[in-house]
Structure 1
């Protein structure tokens, strides 16, 4: 009698593998192949022998996973498989930092060579060429998977480093730089150069990452260390390694957009870079008042505009570096400079007002240059000196200024 119907369709039978004997022998040999691969690495790869036991154990697991993944891939070559996950998913993310891409390639190559040397033993009679061809294709796939793993790790590190760098740059610019910022900078490769300055300007339109990379290329060419970032419409560069802020700004000016570029004064370290950043920011704000300002320009060359724009540090610097030294050098220098500036920079006019010979005025003005570093005969310097005299007199009249 026929069997009664159950109402359920028969389950589709799994097709038999065309190389069942080879697959079975491959499964049985996977453990010994992994052990041989690890032994070969220990013999031929010095960096593997020098690694701590924990990392060596993870590499062993990756080798075992690679052989197991090949076995599964040989079983179902047409099935979609994530080889990078199957092989490298067993290892922690930190392993990509401990082992370089070159070392990983050597590890994979060694494992493939061990598997290739065992083909004649593992393959069933007549399947040697089939297994060898499968291993060649798998080697290509594992190479792509390796590249993918390290590319993803590099992207993750790049994103994290960019965020870390942005935090450091923002801390310096906002005046909140502390030891934490120094530690973050050190993690980014900042080697604490002796001379540090901050350069500010307008960021170009477009991808900020391209701008940052352009700054890094310029810095490498100029042999400078940099921490950089785009904050709003500003491009900020903290540069270290040279004691000439104007030369630093000139070497990095290419990626900046049109408009003023201001370099702050040189300071000894990253913690003090806040002072350079504040000076550069004040100079960038006041630069519109000096239409003929050079590009780039030093923040210290913008002291009079910064002082007029209510920058307290610029006012203090003008008083302490110009007015007080002149005051200490004697009343004659202050009086002569004041009269000379009031007389439209005329030696003869100043001499008449002071009842002295023009040569005396000339000598005193040279002394002013020696004391302050600013020449009264230069139009721009004369403007700076005039502002310094005004601020000094105001400070003498009101100690709070």
Structure 2
């Protein structure tokens, strides 16, 4: 070849020698025997394989083995042909994934099949055919790599699809349980839940930008799900979105209120989503109690946010008065309207909220707001002038707190 000439591309693997083809041809009559040997003997040593039904071993698996053997022998006869049709391997991999066979068991069965075929070639080899045997083993291992890749890819794709399908089914069940569109006991049983539970409501800080990709949104939800699963040591059934959602977990005797695990979950979620993570857990004795428990948990979180409580786990005991004051009746709209005069003044609303949350201590409120105490005094005076509420009296303080809660104004970041 002249210097500088481009290399001539190879059209495929090197041709198999006549001696190697002759050796492989002597195994063709043993295809059925080898298939039975693998399906009924060699594979029996694999974990879980002995428990498979006899028809699966004798029909499906034996047919797959015969297909693999004939594919190998056909490629030996014509090594320049296409690598072969892996559709049956892919089909069987999808079936094994659906049946729950572990991937390592499936891949080990393919490797064991290669070993049995190598043994058959070795047994057929005669004196002087050592080079032909090495050539066939090299050819066998290169083909095995492609098959294992196709099998693993199909298996993982099928498992991912099954997982997504099951997760969506669980989401539908949780949605139906919470909104009352499904019978509670039926939904509970299908979700694999039994006995007393804890219903959690999660409020998460602003997630990915609205223009963010669907991948970023899914990644965030997946990380929240992982935090739930690790905290409660189970696959938690939940209905999650970017901003939070609801989850149902079994109640444990050593943590009846869920407070310890909620603190652990809050810590994990802060690492995933940021500092403004809020959650509450409410006990549900039966499946029928779950919808009410979910509403209560969501309301505890809403009240805690509205009255400026620090982020983290919230308990009903932490917001008992505020929760009571936030209940609606015929007077609610009139009480909420007391703050209408400052409704377009977020700095005044936030000052009022922080002032009430910090026990009407102007200096502590000033530090929290990063303002001078005199500025806080001026704002409080302005609130009194505009609303008529006397923040120095118990009645005025109670009315201001109730108005804040009934308005549902979220804390200003």
Q: TM-score normalised by the shorter chain: which range applies?
A: 0.5 to 0.7
Q: Output the TM-score relative to the length of structure 2.
A: 0.61
- Tell me, yes or no, if structure 1 residue 93 matches structure 2 residue 95: yes
Cross-structure match for 2:62:
60
In 2: Cα distance, 1:260 partner to 1:123 partner: 69
Q: Call closer, same or farther: CA 1:215–1:74 in 2, change over 3 Å.
A: same
- Point out which structure has higher relative CO (alpha carbons under 8 A, 6+ apart): 2
Deviations, residues 295-319 of structure 1 (Å, cap 9, x unaligned): 221245445444544468xx9xxxx
Q: Check 1:271–1:21 CA distance in 2 against 1; reply closer, same or farther (3 A cut).
A: farther
Q: What is the CA–CA distance in structure 2 between the aligned matches of 1:166 and 1:120, rounded to whole Å?
A: 55
In structure 1, which of residues 146, 150, 155 is the aligned counterpart of residue 151 of structure 2?
Answer: 146
> Is the alpha carbon distance of 1:63 and 1:98 closer, same or farther for their aligned partners in structure 2, counting shifts above 3 Å?
farther
**Looking at CA atoms only, which structure, 1 or 2, has the larger radius of gyration?**
1
> Counterpart in 1 of 2:204?
202
Cα distance in 2 for partners of 1:75, 1:272 equals 70
Q: Note the aligned Cα RMSD (angstroms).
A: 3.7
What secondary structure sits across from 2:95 in the alignment?
A: coil
**8 Å contact from structure 2 (residues 281, 297) kept in 1:** yes
Aligned position for 1:247:
260
The number of equivalent residue pairs is 301
CA contact (8 A) 1:239 1:248 kept: no
Tell whether the 8 Å contact from 1:226 to 1:239 is kept in structure 2 after alignment: yes
Once residues 85 and 223 of structure 2 are traced to their aligned partners in structure 1, the CA distance between those partners, rounded to angstroms, is 33
Query: What TM-score do the two structures reach when normalised by structure 1?
Result: 0.62
After superposition, residues 1-400 of structure 1 pair within 5 angstroms as: 18-19=17-18, 20-22=21-23, 24-41=25-42, 44-45=45-46, 47-57=48-58, 58-77=60-79, 79-81=81-83, 84-89=86-91, 93=95, 96-122=98-124, 125=129, 127-176=132-181, 178-186=184-192, 190=193, 192=194, 194-202=196-204, 204-205=207-208, 206-217=216-227, 219-221=229-231, 223=233, 226-231=236-241, 233-241=243-251, 242-253=255-266, 254-255=268-269, 256-259=273-276, 261-293=278-310, 295-299=312-316, 301-310=318-327
Q: Give 5+ residue unaligned stretches, structure 2.
A: 1-14, 209-215, 333-393, 403-413
Conserved in 1, the CA contact under 8 Å of 2:199 and 2:297?
no
Cα separation, partners in 2 of 1:103 and 1:248, compared to 1, 3 Å: same
CA distance in 1 between counterparts of 2:159 and 2:227 reads 19
Distance 1:36 1:279, change over 3 A: same
**Mean Cα displacement is larger for which, 162-171 or 18-27?**
18-27
Q: Describe the superposition over 1:309-346 as per-residue Cα deviations: whole angstroms up to 9, x where unpaired.
A: 4468xx9xxxxxxxxxxxxxxxxxxxxxxxxxxxxxxx
Distance in 2 (CA, whole Å) between partners of 1:221 and 1:264 is 14
CA distance in 2, matches of 1:73, 1:66: 11
Moved more, 86-95 or 138-147: 86-95
Cα shift at 1:181: 1.9
